[in-house]
Copies of this chain bind each other. A is one copy, B any other.
Amino acid sequence: MPQIDIDPELVAEMILTLGAIGAHSGTGVWRTVYSPEWVRANARYAEWCTSAGLTVRQDAVGNVWGRLAGSRGGHSIVSGSHMDTQTPGGRYDGTLGALAALVALRALKAQFGQPLRTLEAVSLCEEEGSRFPGANFWGSRAITGTISATDPQTTVAFSGETIAEAMRVVGLDPAAIASAKRDDIDTFVELHIEQGPILEHAGVPVAVVDAITGLRHYHVTLTGEQNHAGAFPMDLRHDPMAGFAEIATGVINTAHRLGRPAVTTVGRVEVHPNGPAVVPQQVKFTVDARHPDPVLRMKLFALHENLMREVAARRGLSIDWQIHIDKEPCLSDPALVERFETAAAGQGVQVMRMASGAGHDTQQMAKIAKTCMIFVRSKDGRSHTPEEFSSIPDIVDGIRVLAAGLHALAY
């Protein structure tokens, strides 16, 4: 396997160029879908695709595609990620994966000419839901045909307008969304920053992702008896705060004890009446539990549910929960994982396997294609903030792994 030649200066220049479109708070970027900044960034992306020798088109929701047709035709091998950011996010989350695909295809064409199989790079739109909170994965959902006919009218921005209105402003026709659907994608590979500190702590620049985690959000209500903080003795209380604290400690310890990659987070708490001198009547809280293994995931959830029931019963509290989000793990295609690990070895890039604890467009694409992801090391595990940072050498290593894997698949 020949060494893939990726120009670090080109990569750095592209990152800085796109980071300047919507620049915010120093090193941050504020680039929401269908905004003027998003239009300009995608136009620049399209120009770069063209100058790399790719055939460019924009689909009905605004995803930008750069195509390197294969001599044998057939279904495509696609790589990319999203161009929209958090408000503000950083320069890397999303953008880097769209750029990496373009840079990889450019390098492959330059070094190896036309492939046998068709390769495509894609800049996806509105993964974050940072302008339209109900529109996460908008771009990849259009590709997989999972946007309903009414969604454009009923999907409303934080600032009130519908996504249909925002599309028309940038010259897109919401009635045409269905035309963005693809049924000719064989493989989708997404490069992304890690968003956690695992690679940094392991001292490894790049990971091949073997699964995106399964996830459940419990919204729990624990009800006891409101009482006077001074006059009511401890031994007669039915204190939902005591029950909540025991449950929060328990679920967090359970995930910790189960070991990586299990994670459980209690991120949201609401107390009623929330007064310093009142034993609360009610504590509402969320439990976010994640595991990429289909069996261990169910074990984690069962441990949490048993604990919650046990604590409530022992303390004479009533408990009730609703599951607002329940996502099954998205497993990478095992052959692809091995293919990219082999490619990394061929390029002399050290990689490790890991699961993604966050959601990605890849989960949507998995409905129509074999998928895999590549993670690049993040400084301090930071993302969704202007402080997110990955080094150019790590990024180049990631792109080389991506390109080498695509080469193995397409040439």
Contacts and interface: CB of A to CB of B under 8 A. Distances in A.
A170 interface: no
Interface string A323-349: 010000000000000000000000000
A360 to B, nearest CB: 10
Given A228-B384, A229-B288, A231-B194, A277 B267 contact: yes
A226 to B, nearest CB: 9
A384 B277 CA distance: 13
Contact of A230 (B228, B242, B324, B357): B357
Interface in A249-282: 249, 252, 255-256, 260-271, 274-280
Contacts of A232: 196-197, 263, 357, 381
Contacts of A358: 228, 230-231
A245 B249 CA distance: 6
A201 interface: yes
A286 B290 contact: no
A249 B242 contact: yes
Nearest to A324: B276
Most buried by B among A217, A255, A269: A269
B252 A245 contact: yes
Nearest to A246: B249
A241 interface: yes
Most buried by B among A198, A266, A290: A266
Nearest to A215: B230
Interface in A158-196: 194-196
A166 to B, nearest CB: 24
Given A201-B236, A236-B201, A245-B252, A195 B268 contact: no
A383 interface: yes
Given A274-B268, A276-B286, A235 B263 contact: no
Contacts of A127: none
Please indicate which of the listed interface residues A244, A245, A359 has the most CB atoms of chain B within 10 Å of its own CB: A245
Contact of A242 (B241, B252, B261): B252
A198 B288 contact: no
Contacts of A10: none
Interface of A: 194-198, 201, 213, 215, 217, 219, 227-236, 239, 241-242, 244-246, 248-249, 252, 255-256, 260-271, 274-280, 283, 286, 288, 290, 324, 356-359, 381, 383-384
16 contacts: A196-B230, A196-B231, A196-B233, A217-B276, A228-B381, A230-B263, A230-B359, A232-B381, A233-B261, A235-B256, A245-B248, A267-B276, A267-B279, A268-B275, A276-B288, A277-B288
